[in-house]
Amino acid sequence: MESLTSKQLIFVYNANSGKRNALLDSMHKVFSPSTYDCNLCDITFGLVTENKIWKKFREQSSISMTFLHKDEFTKVYASKFGHKYTFPIVFMENEYDLEVFIATEELNALETPQELIDMIQERTKKMPQ
């Protein structure tokens, strides 16, 4: 069996990359938060900076993590996985495949960075080493 260190989590935001998109997303969070479509963005980032609780977890974690916007994910993985996923989403990547680690519906139900951290820790504990 593989250890977690030979795998990585890929977080995919329901937002496109680039400074212009980041600015539009920040404005959307301020002026119409109830219609903002990326709960993963909301949980891990404030208007302009990364959430402190999340950042501390991310920096101190032994889990390998990659963060992509949906356009970046599609560019890298579309040929292999097509467009069958909804976003935001978190995948577990191993040397052979991607598997859904946290589904869109689960991410959208979370309210705090700590809930996301707890979910990640709980699920990685259950993985075979």
pLDDT tens by residue, 52-107 = 999 999 999 999 999 998 888 988 887 666 567 888 999 998 877 889 999 999 99
pTM: 0.77
**Bigger pLDDT: 108 vs 78:** 108
Burial letters 6-15, b for 16+ CB under 10 A, else e: ebebbbbbbb
Residue spans per domain, the chain: 4-125
Cis check: omega of the bond before 88, within 30 degrees of 0:
yes
For the domain 4-125, what is the CATH code? 3.40.30
